[in-house]
Amino acid sequence: MPVANERLTVLLCTHSTFSFGAGTATPGTLVRRAADLGYQAIALTDTLNVSGGVELFQVAREVGIQALIGATLPVRIEDEVYPFVALALSRRGYRSLNELITHAHARAERDLPWPVLLSHTDDLAILTGPRQGLPSRLLARRQIQRLEELMRTLHGAFPERLFIQLFHDRLPWDARRARVLRSLARHLSLPTVVAPEIRYADPEDYRLYDALVCARLGRSVQDPHPSRPQNAAQSLLSPTEATERLPYPDALANAERLAGRAAFDLLPDRLVPPRARVPDGLSADQHLERRCYESLLTRYQGDQLGPARRTLEAELATVKALGLADFFLVAAEVTDYCRSHGILAAGRGSAAASICCYLLGITRIDPVRHDLLFERFLHTGKAAMPDVDIDISSARRDEVLAWVEQRFGTSTEAMVCNKITYRLPLAIQDLGRALGLPPDLRNRLSRALGRDYRGLTPRRAAEAAVAFDEVLGDAPAKTVLLDLLQRLEPAHTRHIAPHSGGVVLARDALTHYSPLERSSGGIKLLQLDKDDAEALGLIKLDLLGLRMLAALERAREEVLRLEGHWVSLDDLPDDPTVWRLISEGATMGLFQIESPSQVHTSRVMRSRTMQDLAHQIALIRPGPIQSGTVHPYLRRRNGLEAVRYWHPSLEPILAKTYGVLLFQEDVLRIAVHFAGMSWIEADRFRKKVSGFRDIADIEPDRVRFIQGAVAHVGASREQAETVFEAVKSYQGYGFAESHAWAFAQHAYASGWLRVHYPAEFLAAIMTEEPGMWSPSTKRQEARAWGVPFLPISINHSGVHYRVERARTGDAAPTKCVRPPLTAIKGVSTEHARELLFARLQAGPFRDIDDLYARVPLARDVLEALIRAGALDGLHDRRDALYRVGLLSTTRPPGTQPLFAPPVQAPALPAVDVATRFTWDHATTRFSSLEIHALDLIRDQLRELAAITLWQVRRYPRKARVRTAGLVVSRQRPGTAKGFAFFVIEDGATRGQVIISPDLWERHRILVRDASILVVDAVVEDTGYQLTLRAEALAALPTPVTVRGYHYG
Amino acid sequence: MRNRMLPADVAWRDGRPHTVRWDDDAPARSTARARVERITQVLDTWEYAGRWWEREHRRSYLLVETERGVTLELFREGEAWCLSRTSD
């Protein structure tokens, strides 16, 4: 880089949003702004973070300036902490930087001891820091001698790589400070660099920066603090202005020279898989080949063997060409471990199209039999990371993660992070706190956003003006808050958190790529999200906890305990009763097909095969919904419409989906076989059309597609246009076919258990809570399943929901579900275990005195047990509460009395049914009582002439009715053009209420807050899929609310 | 330094502050009693953004020395200048 000394050309100290509460611009924004202003290089130096590194390098490459990576390191010297700026001079320096950041994150103080900085010096340059830096602060205190000693020590550790940092923030005496720093540098024979500290891209963002600093410090803007800015001087200033502030040619030239020394490319062009365990004398390719062929001969026989062998040969060649054999073997090690330890695990996603994955036992779908497209998963042109997602029983995922860490080593295994960006509610909390809005007001405002606005990015806050007006009225803070919110960039990352399952396994120490830190929950994570990890050449495995697998596992164990049978979930028979259940739409609790829209589809489709089920699962997704696939698919499948193809050449691709686009693979195959693209092009094309925002962005793709189709299959322009329009409208999320097949297996297994072992299955889904329905709704559904609920009991309940054979009324003993003590809010697993252990030691508890003497439970835990009815068999609830109150004043819990005077309780009125029901819901979210919340207000409903949902089910379609129900689910998906879908419940009967956009707007607050909805409606559908089109709405208060499923 | 907070006028020449004029009796601002000082040196400049949440304006400060050896702290808010402190 030629050195021109007249003005500043490089920025060496820049903070982005990844300084978390200490920067307002994303790395991309900073780079683009720097390029616009004419800078040649920019360094990102976030505090103890390099999460912005990949974006920095990618955007810098795009706009043609040099990216440099560094970090601001808080260094502890004796009792004080000083920021130093470290810049990586090479890939080795980047690793040193990552090791230092890792070290700091491992400390509770989140800083670096001085000796640690001095021992990690490889290829790092150090700047002495801005205003709060060591030189400025010691000079201000006139501790010159100490400063000189420390600088000499630092120089010894970083020879030729230590620079006195000059800055000027337009604060009093900054110019003089710069002159003094230069004198110090001359005295110590150290170079100076002009390195203003940048915190935002635009001077107008100063206010946002100040507010974020206040939010980070937990202060209001009214409170002064030394960390708060005084002016807008830390914006990304022009080179001219920067030079005017610090007009020192040598320091300007030094900055440029240092940038030249720190230039290296962070982004490699190859993937680096982890190293698998391979027998001596074999390469990874040979071992993979051997394992696959051994398995091939056991899984395929006769006519199947030939095609399977050919598929395997082609796939192994691709894997070898990409050098990914280790990766497949490592994934197989994980599933091998799960299998050998009885943990349910199964690969999902595009990997299910791989015969290698099938033969290695990573997935359970035969890709040859189902004609799944391997190229969706991997092809030789694919530079991106292959996705191997493994679903693991959520109850045992931690066990698997612990094994992975032990197997691959602590330094080469970690989770990728999620970059958590602001949505309106969180931004209101942070910025509202900074503006001094009290918590109650902030919470009200967050609630007022409702489903309509809470998903908005803060930049679109003005769209939620109605909610701001409702809560803040004309308060001046409203305008200020709205202004701040609108300044937050959509990609502003507030913090990082562990990804749901993405584990990176590397060949080298992970600090080669990123620092490591621990989440608040103790999970070790990289400062890279999945895209960053891929850009840096890392490969991740998604080890995802799936609650349904945990439920299947638990149900299977209950069956074994009660019946002595072992249900092999891999070999379930094809059972007409399961298909009948699904066809009726009685799918609550079944994996992926329990939502109201899936219930409807179940009744229309009447699935009879696994292929039907895979298609049904894939059908109700944004991609097929947007592309208008759903209705033609259902009509054609049911023979109500002829199957047509846009072009004859598409028949082999779309025959099994009746001529419509259902899967991601359909788009890929059309791009290749119809438009003549290569697999690489098709892959890019699919990703682009599924997520484009501006039609102009895909215009080149349209031209390429149409020209390709005309040339490749002789399609007319009109035909090609029609197909392109269909592909283009496949927007948003759609399923890979392989993924749908993998999920169909779990769906069928859940249906099979539901049919044959309903009590065991119900206990399992109550414990693991997969799916969308609340415990209260599942408890109501238990009536329809014919599974009685037993009351929660201190002497019978355990840690999980269990099945018991019990007599209810005069009937013969039947399987019932007993809720656990852990279902009670405030009773932990440890409490429940203690109670269980005490019961095993000395038998059932005789009364509250006995319980109090034997188990040391805090009073609030005892009261929660009583309110939930766990002592109903021993005392009335009020009586028990009174006794606990008295006992707690006499001696500590868990101690025997010296004397045993019986507790005398006055005659208290027994708790009535309504109170019991309310207390049940408050403590356990359901009630074992055979009543529903609406039973408490039947009289009011009769006054309104509202009939029950059960009665509505017998009304004909198009009838007008007035009915009511407890709201248990609220959905307003983005694909529904403003329509909302609520599910209301009355006992075991549920109905879906469709609310038009117009009605929604008129009753926005009512529908947001309603617990019991009274609705005048037209009956659209009956039976299990009772559907009502709302014409008028009202709400009734209720003593219980249900925390149901909310989406959109 | 002594707090003053008096309206002032600053005249500029060749891009530098040249003279400052203020009235010790302000806000009466009798022109007859106005004091005028020639600025010999700009000692420092800085900026203060104000209480932005209360819509205060940004202030640009000058610390200057006059030919009589007096140090003056001045700021500009919008188009108006103010003598905030003096050291005479």
Q: Is there a contact between B45 and A435 if contact means CB atoms under 8 Å apart?
A: no
A878-885 long-range CB contacts below 8 Å, 24 or more apart?
Answer: A878/A908, A878/A909, A878/A910, A878/A911, A879/A905, A879/A908, A880/A848, A882/A906, A882/A908, A883/A848, A883/A849, A884/A848, A884/A852, A884/A859, A885/A859
Mutate which of A171, A246, A481 to disrupt the B interface (most B C-beta within 10 Å)?
A: A171
pLDDT score for A3: 45
Q: How far is B19 from chain A (nearest CA, A)?
A: 22
Burial of A365 (0-12, 13-18, 19+ CB in 10 A): buried
Q: Quote the tokens at residue A816.
A: 């019932």
Cα A770 to chain centroid, rounded: 15
Amino acid at A710: V
CB contact (8 A) between residue B47 and residue A232: yes
* Cα four-point dihedral sign A851, A852, A855, A860: positive
**Could you give the dihedral angle defined by the CA atoms of residues A249, A255, A256 and A257, in that order, rounded to the nearest 10 degrees?**
100
* Residues B71/B54, Cβ–Cβ less than 8 Å: no
Count: domains in chain B: 1
Inter-chain CB proximity A231 and B48 less than 8 Å: yes
Sheet with A388-393: list strands edge to edge: A345-348, A388-393, A540-546, A493-505, A413-421, A524-526, A516-518
Q: Are strands A493-505 and A540-546 parallel, antiparallel or unpaired?
A: antiparallel
In this prediction, residues B1-5 reach a mean pLDDT of 89
Kindly state whether A174 is in contact with chain B, defined as any CB-CB distance less than 8 angstroms.
yes
Return the closest-CA partner of residue A850 out of A860, A839, A858, A865. Answer: A839
Which of B53, B71, B75 best probes binding to A when mutated, by most A CB atoms within 10 angstroms?
A: B53
Q: What sign has the CA pseudo-torsion A41, A42, A48, A54?
A: negative
On chain A, the residues whose CB falls within 8 A of the CB of B49 are: 206, 210, 229-232
Q: What is the pLDDT of residue A947?
A: 97
CA angle centred on A497, ends A491 and A500, rounded to 5°: 105
A350: its two tokens: 């595009």
Contact A934, A1041 (CB under 8 A): no
pLDDT recorded at residue A845:
97
A626, two tokens: 């947007």
Strand A1027-1036 relative to strand A1012-1021, pairing: antiparallel
Report the distance separating Cα A327 and Cα A899, nearest Å: 69
The single-letter code of the amino acid at A76 is: R
Is beta strand A192-194 parallel, antiparallel or unpaired with respect to B16-22? Answer: unpaired
Nearest to A499 by CA among A477, A479, A521, A529: A529
- Measured at the CA of A126, the angle between CA A123 and CA A130, to 5 degrees, comes to 155
What residues of A are in contact with residue B46 (Cβ under 8 Å)? Answer: 170-172, 174, 231
Q: State the pairing for strand pair A80-88/A124-127.
A: antiparallel
A8: closest CA of chain B, how far (Å): 21
Global confidence as pTM: 0.87
Helix (H, G, I), strand (E, B) or coil at B86: strand
pLDDT digits (tens, 9 = 90+) for A66-105: 999 999 999 999 999 999 999 999 999 999 999 999 999 9
Our CA angle for A740, A744, A747, nearest 5°, is: 135
- Would you call A231 and B47 a contact, using CB atoms and an 8 Å cutoff? yes
pLDDT of residue B27: 59
> What pLDDT is recorded for position A388?
86
Residue A672 has what pLDDT? 95
Q: Give me the pLDDT at residue A2, please.
A: 44
Do residues A117 and A104 make contact, with C-beta atoms less than 8 angstroms apart? no
Nearest Cα of chain B lies from the Cα of A139 at a distance, in angstroms, of 19
Task: Specify the residue for token string 């109650």.
Answer: A440
Q: Decide: helix, strand or coil at residue A982.
A: strand
Contact B58 A231 (CB under 8 A): yes
- Chain A nearest CA to B50, separation (Å): 8
The answer to whether the Cβ–Cβ distance between B53 and A480 falls below 8 Å is yes
Extended strands (E) in A798-848 = 802-806, 814-818
Give contacts of B45 with chain A, Cβ < 8 Å: 170, 175
What's the rounded Cα separation, in Å, for the pair A655 and A643?
8
DSSP-assigned beta bridge partners for residue A85: A72, A127
**Residue A947 and residue A962: Cα distance in Å, rounded?**
6
B48 at the A interface (CB within 8 A)? yes
pLDDT in the model for residue A1: 44
Task: Dig out the tokens for A916 from the structure.
Answer: 């019991």
Distance CA A777, CA A782 (A): 9
- What is the distance between the alpha carbons of residues A992 and A968, in angstroms, rounded to a whole number? 10
The whole-angstrom separation of Cα A233 and Cα B46 is 10
Which positions 461-490 of A are in contact with B (Cβ < 8 Å)? 477, 480
Which residue matches tokens 């005295």? A187
Which residues does chain A have within 8 Å of residue B56's beta carbon, measured at their own beta carbons? none
Q: Which two three-digit tokens encode residue A753? A: 């258990």
Is residue A328 exposed (0-12), middle (13-18) or buried (19+ Cβ within 10 Å)? buried
**How big is the A-B interface in CB pairs under 8 Å?**
38
Residues of chain A contacting residue B75, judged by C-beta atoms under 8 Å apart = none
* B10: alpha, beta or left? (left if phi > 0; alpha if psi -120 to 50): beta
pLDDT at res. A998? 95
Which residue in chain B has the smallest CA separation from A245?
A: B45
Flag residues of chain A having pLDDT under 50. Answer: 1-4
φ, ψ for residue A23 (rounded to 5)?
-175, 145
Q: For an interface test with A, which of B46, B61, B76 has the most A Cβ atoms less than 10 Å from its Cβ?
A: B46
Q: What is the mean pLDDT of residues B12-34?
A: 79
Q: How far does the CA of residue A821 sit from the closest CA of chain B (Å)?
A: 51
Question: Which residues of B are less than 8 Å from A237 in CB distance?
Answer: none
Residue at A275: amino acid letter = R
CA distance readout (Å), A116 to A71, A94, A98, A149: 15, 16, 13, 17
Residues counted in chain A: 1048
Q: Are A196 and A237 in contact (CB under 8 A)?
A: yes
Distance CA(A777)–CA(A932), nearest Å, equals 10
Structure confidence at residue A378 (pLDDT): 82
Range of the domain at B79: 2-25+32-87
**How far is A172 from B48, CA to CA, in rounded Å?**
10
Q: Whole-angstrom Cα distance, residue A850 to residue A649?
A: 79
Residue burial A694-712, b: 16+ Cβ < 10 Å; e: rest: eeeebeebbebbbebbbeb
Taking CB atoms and an 8 Å cutoff, what residues of chain B touch A170? 45-47
| Per-residue confidence (pLDDT) for residue B88, from 0 to 100 | 66
Residue in B with minimal Cα distance to A480: B53
How many angstroms separate the CA atoms of A257 and A68, rounded? 13
Crossing angle for the helix pair A465-472 and A439-453, to the nearest 10 degrees = 150
